[in-house]
């Protein structure tokens, strides 16, 4: 059954590709397998042929008849009319992992970028895994320390695609110990929610800005709107971050969260 009201699927990376494939099966429920086109965007990876072939094989085996690969390795490719036409025909666009800064630096300001933004407003379903997940927000984490205590100003951020606003998304979350860097991101931008997504775990966001969790791991919501005190500044950047009255929610598969009210749905 196609769920058209859910337009954004954000995966924490390393989704199951050989077992039950629950997340990828859910992705396939958002498209008519017989008639609609699923496009795999390999912009983030430096191995586009390998990654494109892998996902094409997976989706074909899951019954998707029409699968295309958007092979964009540089800004010249983002100007080609055939690539714009491929996006215009798509009903679902799947951004693979790799380096999220490659996506925005290659696509930004091009006709292909304009087409992607318009397609989302018109109801095209967008999916992103790993780097493809981070790039979905209007501000994204580019670089930060894994498995370390949070420090005052050690996070590199950049504009993302802006398909979802008011959040910062981090992926491979528990597996790479990224709670510290997401706390820094929220301390620097307390008006936005930090969303950390474990591997083989996803959030599926509907048009009302409510998401449900699907997968084998957890999703972590860090809400800094009620922070009472923090030592964030550009001075003494390597000092340990101090942050008071930050709120965290942990969600498992089946749980829901309202991004408008910043509350889980019980």
pLDDT in tens, 105-156: 999 999 999 999 999 999 999 999 999 999 999 999 999 989 989 998 779 9
Alpha-carbon 111 to chain mean position: 22
Average the pLDDT over 260-265 and give the result: 97
Q: Residue 126, by phi and psi: left (phi above 0), alpha (psi -120 to 50) or beta?
A: beta
pLDDT recorded at residue 234: 78
Q: Residue 147, by phi and psi: left (phi above 0), alpha (psi -120 to 50) or beta?
A: left
Q: pTM for the whole thing? A: 0.96
Active-site positions read 130, 148, 172
pLDDT in tens, 23-55: 999 999 999 999 999 999 999 999 999 999 999
Average pLDDT, the chain: 95
pLDDT recorded at residue 1: 38
Average the pLDDT over 163-187 and give the result: 96
Token code pair at residue 94: 């799947």
Cα–Cα separations (whole angstroms), residue 195 to 111, 149, 163, 172 = 30, 18, 15, 11
Which of the four pLDDT bands, split at 50, 70 and 90, describes residue 5?
low
**How deeply is 111 buried, as exposed, middle or buried, from its count of CB atoms within 10 A (0-12, 13-18, 19+)?**
middle
Number of H helices, E strands in the chain: 7, 17
Instruction: Report the percent of the chain where pLDDT is more than 70.
Output: 98
pLDDT higher than 70, residue 58: yes
Average the pLDDT over 68-93 and give the result: 97
Average the pLDDT over 193-213 and give the result: 97
Average the pLDDT over 69-88 and give the result: 97
pLDDT higher than 70, residue 3: no
């Amino acid at each position: 059954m196609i769920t058209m009201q859910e337009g954004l699927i954000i995966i924490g990376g390393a989704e199951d590709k050989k077992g039950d494939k629950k997340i990828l099966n859910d992705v396939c429920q958002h498209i008519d397998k017989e008639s609609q086109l699923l496009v795999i965007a390999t912009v983030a990876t430096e191995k586009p042929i390998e990654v494109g072939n892998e996902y094409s094989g997976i989706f074909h085996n899951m019954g998707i008849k029409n699968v295309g690969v958007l092979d964009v390795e540089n800004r010249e490719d983002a100007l080609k009319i055939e690539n714009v036409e491929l996006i215009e025909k798509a009903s679902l666009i799947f951004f693979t992992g790799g380096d999220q800064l490659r996506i925005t630096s290659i696509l930004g300001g091009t006709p292909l970028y304009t087409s992607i933004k318009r397609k989302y407003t018109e109801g095209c379903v967008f999916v992103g895994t790993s780097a493809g997940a981070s790039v979905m927000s209007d501000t994204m984490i580019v670089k930060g320390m894994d498995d370390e205590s949070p420090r005052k100003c050690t996070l590199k951020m950049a504009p993302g695609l802006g398909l979802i606003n008011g959040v910062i998304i981090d992926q491979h979350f528990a597996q790479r110990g990224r709670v510290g860097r997401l706390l820094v991101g929220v301390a620097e931008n307390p008006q936005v929610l930090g969303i950390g997504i474990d591997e083989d775990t996803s959030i599926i966001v509907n048009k009302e800005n409510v998401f449900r969790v699907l997968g084998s791991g957890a999703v972590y919501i860090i809400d800094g709107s009620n922070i009472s005190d923090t030592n964030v500044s550009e001075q003494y950047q390597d000092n340990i971050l101090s942050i008071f009255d930050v709120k965290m929610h942990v969600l498992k598969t089946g749980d829901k969260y309202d991004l408008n009210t910043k509350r889980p749905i019980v």
